[in-house]
Amino acid sequence: MEKRPLQILLVDDDEDDYIITEELLREIMGYQYHLDWVNNYPTAWQQIEQKRHDLYLIDYRLGPDSGLELLRRAVALGVQAPIILLTGQGDREVDLEAMKAGAADYLVKGQMDPAVLERSLRYGIERKRVEGQREALLESERRLNQVTQLLNTEMDMAVLWPQVVQQSAALIGAEAGALALLADDGRSLHYHYLFNLPPECAADARVSGEGVAWHVLQTGQALLIPNYAVHPQALPYWQQAGVHSYLGVPLVSGGQKLGVLALFTLSPQREISPRQIALIESVGQQMGVAMHNARLFAEVQQRAAELQRALTRLEELDRLKSAFIRNASHELRTPLAIVRGYIELLGQGEFGELTAAQRDPVETITMRAQALSRIVDDMTAVWNVESMELTLERMNLRPVVQTAVAEFRLPSHRAQLQLNLKIAPNLADIMGSLMHLTRVVDNLLGNAIKFTPPGGAISVTLQQHGKTVILDVVDTGIGIPEYELERIFDRFYQIDDSPTRRYGGTGLGLALVKEIVEAHRGVIQVNSVVQRGSRFRVVLPCVSE
């Protein structure tokens, strides 16, 4: 570019000084400058406000006005060009003030010679140039940070990309931009998020192998085309839009090509430097990562939505199942009671004496009907514990456990199991519901018997520990794998739920036990070793005296 003469403004009310300054300037700069002279404050301010000079020489004394004041005002206005204050012989004390006010230098008028002036101008201009560069660097760093922050925080791509295109353009002083994204089939590029360009620029997709964007994508390298208009692959719409130069950087993530960030200058004055290309390349890399993350995020969201749907469906099924069981248990209760009533009467000979051959079947029916009743009771109890407030009364667990163990003597004998009971003396009372706690002990004992092979032993102990009463039901049975321990307390959960399973049951027993224990502000724990046995422990708070 052709070098423009340095534009200098001299503000001095003394014409002699103007002439001297002019001579000095000519001596040091030949004709590589243009000097404007104004001799008063108001006209000087008008000139300064236009900010079109490259250098200002301001006299400290401007008739009634102060050059220092003018300097301050110029600095406050944001004048970037260096300002040199010219002081008289006796004004040395203003030096410091001038520098503080933002003067690039000060010169004592009488002592000005070509060497002094030349040095001052050179220093002043150079310093401003360095300052300008530093500010430009800071500014681009600030903008880069903005883009980075945006890429790291905005998850909505429809919001993110237009902003990134715009901010990237601003980062290097480009006036327009767009994002070319690879279509899902990987064969064509489509322009999106046009910034400062007419919509028709996005009109045609660049099919595989064509166009500068495709070239950038293929090579994975940034491409700068300083004079786009005459490029053989220039697109007519972009030419019409007045694109002057083109910069494209690839968007790549994890080796996968995703698209191209394209930025354009529209005026020939703007040039893109290698440093700016490097900046945009780094933005491109970050965009690649953000795109990758966005895809992952979208996938995660989709999965989450699918899971949510599945969960809602499961909840619905669970609700239906619960409703069905509640209704079924309710409906079964009455006919079962009638069956049991008649069987009992039959057994008692109310409908005539039973023959020897009839006795056994009737007893079997009686036992099976009782078993059925227990299942229905379990089913009903689960819903009751859940929906009813338990009425707790002061009571002792000793008789509850003793009775239960007594009732289970016969079944355990039949199952060829030893049944031991140990109750510590002076067991403290608890607050509890007799009916529900009986069910707890029954269920734990029933399971112990059910899941312990013949020859095994079951021990029931009741003891006191601090302010709690502890019930242990220990068996030498089949045990429970560790990964099942959590789930056995779920409603209807059975480790073996196959149709061919060995053990009967509803899978409601432990769920019920847990709910009852917790309704008593107690806890239930289980320890188990497969093929060795299990220990179920119920800890209940005792009444504090």
Determine the size of the site formed for ligand ADP (CB under 6 A). 21
Determine, following the binding rule CB under 6 A, whether residue 166 of this chain makes contact with ligand ADP: no
Does 534 sit near ligand ADP (CB under 6 A)? yes
How far is 526 from 538, CA to CA, in rounded Å? 9
Helix, strand, or coil here: 376?
helix
Q: Output the smallest distance, CB 253 to ligand ADP, in A.
A: 49
419 lies in the binding site for ligand ADP (CB under 6 A): no
Q: Give 410's Cβ-side CA count (13 Å radius).
A: 2
Tokens (6 digits) for 454 = 């013949």
Note the helical H segments in 12-61: 15-29, 41-50
Footprint of ligand ADP on 448-507 (CB under 6 A): 448, 451, 475, 477-480, 488, 493-495, 505-507
Which residues have a Cβ under 8 Å from the Cβ of 257 and sit 6 or more positions away? 182, 217, 220, 250, 251
Of the pair 74, 417, the CB lying nearest ligand ADP is at 417
Q: Which of 24/516 has CB closer to ligand ADP? A: 516
Give me the 232-251 binding string for ligand ADP, x by CB under 6 A, dash otherwise.
--------------------
Measured from the CB atom, is 107 or 508 closer to ligand ADP? Answer: 508
Measured from the CB atom, is 21 or 443 closer to ligand ADP?
A: 443
Provide the minimum distance between the beta carbon of 319 and ligand ADP in the complex, in angstroms, as a whole number.
20
Nearer to ligand ADP, 112 or 523 (CB): 523
How many beta carbons lie within 10 A of that of residue 272, not counting itself?
A: 21
At closest approach, how far in Å is the CB of 345 from ligand ADP?
30
Q: Angle CA(60)–CA(63)–CA(66) in degrees, nearest 5? A: 40
Contact criterion met (CB below 8 Å) for 390 and 519: yes
Residue 204 structure tokens: 């045609």
What is the distance, to the nearest Å, from the Cα of residue 379 to the centroid of all Cα atoms in its chain? 43
Q: Which stretch binds ligand ADP (CB under 6 A): 22-30, 113-121, 131-139, 444-452?
A: 444-452
Element (H, E) at 346: helix 274-347
The answer to whether 447 contacts ligand ADP (rule: CB under 6 A) is yes
**Residue 542 binds to ligand ADP (criterion: CB under 6 A):** no
Q: Which C-beta is closer to ligand ADP: that of 50 or that of 498?
A: 498
Provide, rounded to whole angstroms, the least separation between the CB of residue 532 and ligand ADP.
Answer: 10
CB of 405 to ligand ADP, least distance (A): 16
- Nearest position to ligand ADP, beta carbon: 505
User: Would you say 55 or 401 has its CB closer to ligand ADP?
Assistant: 401
Residue 50: partners with Cβ closer than 8 Å, 6 or more residues away: none
Greatest Cα pair distance in the chain: 150
Residue 165 sits at φ, ψ, to 5 deg, of -60, -45
CB 509, min distance to ligand ADP, A: 3
Which residue's CB is nearer to ligand ADP, number 87 or number 447? Answer: 447
Cα–Cα nearest to 442, from 490, 509, 503: 509
Smaller CB distance to ligand ADP: residue 176 or 488?
Answer: 488
Q: How many CB atoms lie within 10 A of CB 152?
A: 12
Tell me which residues in 506-525 interact with ligand ADP (CB under 6 A).
506-511
Nearer to ligand ADP, 215 or 514 (CB): 514
Q: How far is the CB of 406 from ligand ADP (least distance, A)?
A: 20
In order of 91, 192, 256, 530, the CA distances from 259 in angstroms are 65, 11, 9, 58
CB of 478 to ligand ADP, least distance (A): 5
CA–CA gap between residue 145 and residue 534 (Å, rounded):
62
- Buried b / exposed e across 499-516, counting CB within 10 Å, b at 16+? eeeeeebbebbbbbbbbb
Residue ranges that bind ligand ADP, judged by CB under 6 A: 443, 447-448, 451, 475, 477-480, 488, 493-495, 505-511, 534
